[in-house]
């Protein structure tokens, strides 16, 4: 991979990385507002982006940052969990961001977890992303097995929003939040790799020593479906925001 296509890597303290990412989100919101257009933001869940959401809430409350022109699309949702289920990503987003800023509820989208027809649910989500012109900025995390979204190892570059089986390591990592692995759903609905790669800009956040090995593989390893995050090497506007432990 030549220098032109290498992703940008930013290494720093977690608080500084989150502030820098909040700057990018705010810039996008304000630029689109000046154009009288919506800013389409792809969101991630888990513990890593919580400080980002806290900073965005602070800017809304203390500095007047408005989310009125923001449209959001989350990466994934657990199968079988209704939006009001306390462990759903719907509930997570309501707690950490949506319920604390002025984003319009009808413009916040997450994959359905309690779908009746998985194909229709997936097609609907893809259609909604297209309806709003595609994602301007997609925020990602990375799993210990190299997944992005819930695109587990074996997910190809061409995959789109769909139902997936969760890898055992993914369920293990979620077990504490569910009170044991036996309570963690076995499947989920996720954006596909191709869906993610269509975002105009992607920023992946990784922190902690536990992510060091997979981050190095994702940035420097051979592009292949065994580590889906390696597909980000082929995206021309991806940045990696890493703390020192994850950067190695």
HEC string for the chain: CCCCCCCEEEECCHHHHHHHHHHHHHHHHHHHHHCCCCEEEEECCCCCCHHHHHHHHHHHHHHCCCCCCEEEEECEEECCCCCCCCCCHHHHHHHHCHHHCCCCHHHEECCCCCCCCHHHHHHHHHHHHHHCCCCCEEEECCCCCCCECCECCCCCCCCCCEEEECCHHHHHHHHHHHCCHHHCCCEEEECCHHHHHCCCEEEEEECCHHHHHHHHHHHHCCCCCCCHHHHHHHCCCEEEEECHHHHC
End-to-end CA distance of the chain: 21
Query: Contact 146/217 with Cβ under 8 angstroms?
Result: yes
Distance CA 126, CA 111 (A): 10
Residues tagged active-site: 76, 145, 147, 152
């Amino acid at each position: 991979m030549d220098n032109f296509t290498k992703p940008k890597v930013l290494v720093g303290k977690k608080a500084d990385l989150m502030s820098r990412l909040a700057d990018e989100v705010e810039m996008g919101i304000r630029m689109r507002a000046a154009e009288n257009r919506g800013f389409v933001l792809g969101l991630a869940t888990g513990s890593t982006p919580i400080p980002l959401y806290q900073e965005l809430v602070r800017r809304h409350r203390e500095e007047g940052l408005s989310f009125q022109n923001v449209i959001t699309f989350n990466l994934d949702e657990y199968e079988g969990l209704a939006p009001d289920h306390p462990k759903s990503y719907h509930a997570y987003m309501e707690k950490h961001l949506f319920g604390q800023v002025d984003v319009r509820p009808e413009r916040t989208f997450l994959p359905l977890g309690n779908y009746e027809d998985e194909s229709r649910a997936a097609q609907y989500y893809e259609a909604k992303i297209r309806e709003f012109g595609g994602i301007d900025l997609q925020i990602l995390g990375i799993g210990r097995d190299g997944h992005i979204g819930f695109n587990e190892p074996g997910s190809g570059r061409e995959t789109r929003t769909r139902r997936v089986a969760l890898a055992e390591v993914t369920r293990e990592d979620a077990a504490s939040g569910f009170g044991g692995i036996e309570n963690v759903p076995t499947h989920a609905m996720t954006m596909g790799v191709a869906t993610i790669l269509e975002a105009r800009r992607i920023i992946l956040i990784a922190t902690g020593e536990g992510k060091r090995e997979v981050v190095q593989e994702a940035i420097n390893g051979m592009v292949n479906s065994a580590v889906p995050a390696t597909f980000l090497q082929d995206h021309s506007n991806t940045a990696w925001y890493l703390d020192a432990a994850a950067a190695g």
